[in-house]
Chains A and B, each alone.
Chain A
Amino acid sequence: MSEHIQEWLGAYLDGELRGWRLQQVEKHLAECQECSTELAELRNLSALLQEAPIERDFTPAERFAAQVLLRLPPQQEPSLRSRVQKASWWLVPATLLGAATFAQTAGVVSWFVWAAGQTGLLGAAAAQLQDVPQYNLWFHTALNLFNGSLAGAQPALNLAESWGQAFLGQATWLVILAGLYWTWLALWWFRHQRLSSQREIAFSHPDQG
């Protein structure tokens, strides 16, 4: 026989077990007299608790509500924290989308400026815009090793290298932003699901009529 499952009996009685845990408890109960007796006792305890309804004469709801209304002070403004929390549900995706758009635009514009410089369209301004960034030094050093033999192909290679750098930079940013965006979306969805299920249960509760 498997180990006793007393710790799960309360949750079983309350209908809170699912999947393999539920199967485990049911299988064990079918073969264990001790746990079955324990479950019966829990059922009886629950029935006994229900047998003790409130029989006090409380103030009727109408009068109680009137008393509460008389005591109500002016309402407080939402706290800064709650306002920030509320706003963050649309600020986060808006910021991420803005950042993604900015990264995308900046990448495309940079590449066009560089390409224009390479083809001489920018004239004197090209010299300032074409400073080689530090991360490109290895590429230019490698090109210098083949000085002469690759001279003819250098503009095309520079263009390809620049495109590669721009693409990789942009792709990295977009992957990070997309990851953050999906994380936010998952959080929002889980929160929405949890609150919806709570709301449905709340409204189907017998006490609410």
Chain B
Amino acid sequence: MLANSTVAETSLISRAQRGDRSAYGELVRRYHAGVINVVYRLCGDARLAEDAAQEAFIRGWLHLPSFHEQSSLRNWLYQIAVNAALDMLRKEKKLSTDALDDLPLASHDPDPETAVIQVERKTQVQRAILSLPPSSRAVLVLREYEGLSYQEISGALEIPIGTVMSRLNFARSRLKEILAPQFLSMEVENV
């Protein structure tokens, strides 16, 4: 199964590298969710995230002939997506705490009190993530939300593994400082 999907993907990449747009369309559909997830966590703004994701896929198409087939397309696209999102933020001159109005306010929980708490948590978490420097935020998002290994992050962002670790330590310790008063200490008691 894994081998089949690998072969299918390799074939799609080869076709797209030769200019086959429908093959590239299939790759876009496959990686749409992951790329959107990464750029939204980085931007904190749905409109910016969609623009950055489109920009990332267009850059991916333009540079696809230089892509080495032995590499991971997903990590390669994440690298482009992170750069596109950071460029977009710079261009908009909008550091994403402004975008918190854009955060979801609805919750699926039927209990109104629980729903309010959950929304409050999500807002706090997203606000805390957006308060991180972009370089640390990118590493945190790729690790926590996309589950990339340190080596993969190192390859995707073109930074040494030691830097991945130090940025991740920094991001986590900042988040702990910001979020601990409300949530972490409470949860530690429950462990």
Contact = CB atoms under 8 A, between A and B. Distances in A.
B115 interface: no
B72 A199 contact: yes
B146 A207 contact: yes
Nearest to B169: A10
Interface of B: 2, 5-6, 9, 19, 21, 24-26, 28-30, 32-34, 36-37, 40-41, 46, 49-50, 53-54, 57-58, 61-66, 68, 70-75, 104, 106, 118, 121-122, 125-126, 129, 143-152, 155, 165, 168-169, 172, 175-176, 179-180, 183-184, 187-188, 191
Overall SS of chain A's interface: helix
Nearest to B180: A41
B188 A208 contact: no
A198 B71 contact: yes
The 7 closest A-B pairs by CB, nearest first: A202-B72, A195-B70, A82-B66, A65-B28, A52-B125, A61-B32, A44-B187
Contacts, number: 171
B65 A75 contact: yes
Nearest to A11: B165
Interface in A164-204: 191-192, 194-199, 201-204
A74 B3 CA distance: 31
24 contacts: A11-B165, A14-B149, A14-B168, A16-B149, A44-B183, A48-B179, A49-B144, A51-B125, A52-B126, A58-B46, A64-B36, A64-B50, A65-B25, A65-B26, A71-B54, A72-B58, A75-B64, A76-B62, A82-B66, A86-B68, A198-B75, A201-B72, A202-B152, A203-B6
Interface in A5-57: 7, 10-11, 14, 16, 37, 40-52, 54-56
Interface string A57-95: 011011011111101110111110010001000000000
A58 B28 contact: no
Given A41-B184, A58-B50, A64 B32 contact: yes
Interface residues of A, number: 58
Nearest to A73: B62
A152 interface: no
Given A69-B28, A191-B70, A206-B147, 9 more contacts: A7-B169, A10-B165, A16-B150, A52-B125, A56-B104, A71-B58, A194-B151, A203-B6, A208-B34
A157 B62 CA distance: 68
B66 A44 contact: no
Contacts of B72: 195, 198-199, 201-202
Contacts of B118: 51
A205 to B, nearest CB: 6
A14 B28 contact: no
A65 B125 contact: no
Interface string A126-150: 0000000000000000000000000
A47 to B, nearest CB: 7
Contacts of B125: 48-49, 51-52
